[in-house]
Amino acid sequence: MTPDPSSPSKDAGDTKSSRRGFMAVAAAGIAGILIAPGVRLIEIAQAAPATGTPSPGASSKVRWGMLIDSTKCASGCTDCVTACNTENGLSGGTKATDSQWIRKIEIKEVRTGKTQSLPMMCQHCAEPPCVDVCPTGASFKRADGIVLVDKHTCIGCRYCMMACPYKARSFVHEPQHNQKSDVPRGMGTVEACTMCVHKVDKGEMPACVSACASAGHEAILFGDLNNPQSDISKRIASYPSRQIRENLNLDTGVRYLGI
């Protein structure tokens, strides 16, 4: 974020100005408290598309989902992760405080030593525990099955992170700069894979799906689980697929083959 040229320079640091500064901050704070609810209304009003007819919104006739074929997923390949980071403006860092919306997990069966690699992200459950526990309803599921966080009503309590059976969520620990306009993020709120909802709503594929295809693996299939004619539905109907932690009975939107 570039500094506001109209803001006063920092070098005027005598006592008087710092007191004035304090008064200004206090006044701005009080003004903020008084005006903030109004600003929010304006924000909501402007969130509707500026041109053309308003979007019809997500439809419950559709249930977006993914089928991940772990037999096609290459160990060591992180193209889906990189694509996700680029698309959503994530740093790509892997510190414990960095956001990771999608990660590659290497799994090795203890008894047989069989190893597999697969991407793990928000499983977009039909019965999402994160939505159940969210006190304000900021964690919500769209009609088309995509689970999202409303950045305006998330208070940053992190209860959804405690509740997620897949550790799919991250908390924004630091101030964010140079954000993607399609993917707003906010310090002090929780975030996770949005299934690239901004792309899906334009009829495009999620970034990880395209990246996997470009790498020649085609391990991630995206589509409508409600449409029996879709590729994903046909594949799920004809091959044994699994939900991870399926004993929790969450009816995940992301399914896996070959595990």
Partner 1 sequence: MKIELRPLQGTSPGYYLLMGGMALVALVGLAAVWFMEHNGHIVTGMNNQIVWGLPHVFAVFLVVAASGALNVASMASVFGKTDYKPLAPLSGLLAIALLLGGLTVLMLDLGRPDRLIVAMTYYNFKSIFALNIFLYSGFMGFVIVYLWTMMERRMNRFTPVAGLFAFVWRMALTTGTGSIFGFLVARQAYDSALLAPLFIALSFSYGLAVFLLVLMLASNGSGRPLGDALMAKFARLQVIFISAGLYFVTVYYLTNLYFTRHHAFDRFILMDGGIYTLLFWLGPVLLGGVLPLVLLLHPRIGQMRRRIAACAALVVGGGFAQMYVTIIGGQAFPLVIFPGHQVSSSFSDGVINTYSPSLPEWLLGFGGIAIVGIIVMVALKVMGFLPERLDDEAMQHHAAALAAASA
Binding region for partner 1 (CB under 8 A) = 81, 94-100, 103-111, 120, 129, 131-138, 152-159, 161-167, 169-175, 186-190, 244-245, 248
Nearer to partner 1, 120 or 195 (CB): 120
CB of 138 to partner 1, least distance (A): 8
Sequence letter at residue 4: D
Supply the angle between the helices 207-214 and 79-88 in degrees, to the nearest 10: 140
Judged by beta carbon, residue 187 or residue 231, the one nearer partner 1 is 187
Burial letters for 65-97: b for 16+ Cβ neighbours within 10 Å, e otherwise? Answer: bbbbbbebbeeebbbbbbbbbebbbbeeeeeee
We find the least distance from the C-beta atom of residue 161 to partner 1, in angstroms, to be: 4
104/255 with CB nearer partner 1: 104
**Closest distance to partner 1 from the beta carbon of 39 (Å):** 13
CB-based contact 187:176 (threshold 8 Å): yes
Candidates 127, 160, 134, 161; CA nearest to 249 is: 127
Shortest distance (Å) from residue 157 CB to partner 1: 6
Residue among 146 and 172 whose Cβ is closer to partner 1: 172
**Residue pointed to by tokens 């003004």:** 31
Non-local CB neighbours of 151 within 8 Å, separated by 6+ positions: 138, 184, 185, 186, 189, 191
Separation of alpha carbons 210 and 109, rounded Å = 29
| Upper half-sphere CA count for residue 16 (Cβ side, 13 Å) | 1
Closest by CA to 70, choosing from 194, 211, 193, 218, is 218
In angstroms, give the least distance from the CB of 123 to partner 1: 10
Nearer to partner 1, 205 or 259 (CB): 259
Report the residue number, 84 or 200, with the smaller CB distance to partner 1. Answer: 84
- Minimum CB separation of residue 215 from partner 1 in Å reads 18
